[in-house]
Structure 1
Amino acid sequence: MHRRDALTVWERASVVRVVSPARPRKLAKVPFVELADGRLQGVVSSGSDIGRVYVSSIAAGTYAFACSTNNNRPCGGARGTFCNHIRALVGEAVLQYGAGRVARYLKAETPDGELDGPGLVSMMTATRPAQGDTSAAAPVFSRFLRHLAYLELEPVTAPLPEMHWFPPTRMVA
């Protein structure tokens, strides 16, 4: 059998499976969140400066965390524990993917089985995670900017698979 004949249906298709959000989210505070590269990571708006965003992440298993501005200045609140940006990221990830999926991805198990954003944060901070490096900030922010470029496109009915994280109500110009 030739390689071309052995291609699965999804390899020949121009679309990917889209996972619907667990619950609708507001994008003003955390416009971008993803489970990728062994981390929960995303972009979080600053609470004090509308022109500033933070790139935050938590590593699966170790819960090592990092938070810095898009131009790699460290977050002042992430000193020894999760800052408010990371807490907001976890909360929005739970809304986007569901608490069970986020907990499984981060390899986090709560003792009582209750899974929600604050419960996950409490369980992870109880392990005293270390601050990680901010080397992932640049690629995460770059992906976020690439997604924002889709907002400049004319509205079409053809699927844009990379936009699965973006609520459909915001895609219309």
Structure 2
Amino acid sequence: MGDGALSVWEKSSTARVVPSARPRKLAKVPFVELADGRLQGVVSSGSDIGRVYVSSVEAGTYAFACSTNNNRPCGGAHGWFCNHIRALIGEAVLQYGADRVARYLKVEVAGEADAGTLTDAMTSTRPAQGDSSAAAQVFSRFLRHLAYLELAPTTAPLPEMHWFPTTRAVA
């Protein structure tokens, strides 16, 4: 594509969706993403059906944060990855594959990578507890994704996505 030609997906109004490395169950971790220099997502509470946690691990430093959707700190994230963060890492490996997660988070793993070896490599560096200020943005993106699930299937354009660039010149 070095000659300036655009591929079919670059000409369309939709972006390619990378399929999951393996199927995931969405009940425990309904939202996971590699974005903003972090692995981040929403993890369901194991004890309260009405509570979710927003968890994240920063690339490179492995600084972590975990709090409820209304900014109460996680009781298990004191100096170590809590179970929510461990579940997030596990689901990220299912969604994106261990190699992609390791590259994104800048984790060096000898041999075959999986969720356990990635977690072990990150925790062996004794990461610090990070800032949970991004939790509101992550939770907001999660809620936006839920809203799209409620829409009826259609090929008509969505007005809130009008800002996506087009390949046509605008006069």
Residue of structure 2 equivalent to 1:141: 139
Residue of structure 2 equivalent to 1:114: 112
How far is 1:18 from its partner? 1.1
Is 1:78 paired with 2:94?
Answer: no
TM-score normalised according to structure 2 size: 0.85
Amino acid at match of 2:136: A
Unaligned runs of 5+ in 2: 159-171
Residue of structure 2 equivalent to 1:59: 58
- Supply the distance in 2 between the matched residues of 1:69 and 1:19 (Cα, whole angstroms): 29
RMSD: 1.9
- Supply the distance in 1 between the matched residues of 2:156 and 2:44 (Cα, whole angstroms): 30
**Percent identity of the aligned residues?**
80
SS at match of 2:92: helix
Residue of structure 2 equivalent to 1:104: 103
Q: Is the alpha carbon distance of 1:7 and 1:138 closer, same or farther for their aligned partners in structure 2, counting shifts above 3 Å?
A: farther
- Supply the distance in 1 between the matched residues of 2:65 and 2:5 (Cα, whole angstroms): 40
Residue of structure 1 equivalent to 2:30: 31
- Supply the distance in 1 between the matched residues of 2:62 and 2:84 (Cα, whole angstroms): 15
Unaligned runs of 5+ in 1: 1-5, 161-173
Amino acid at match of 2:147: A
Q: Is the alpha carbon distance of 1:27 and 1:158 closer, same or farther for their aligned partners in structure 2, counting shifts above 3 Å?
A: farther
SS at match of 1:114: coil
Bigger Rg, structure 1 or 2: 2
- Supply the distance in 2 between the matched residues of 1:116 and 1:155 (Cα, whole angstroms): 35
Q: Aligned residues, how many?
A: 154
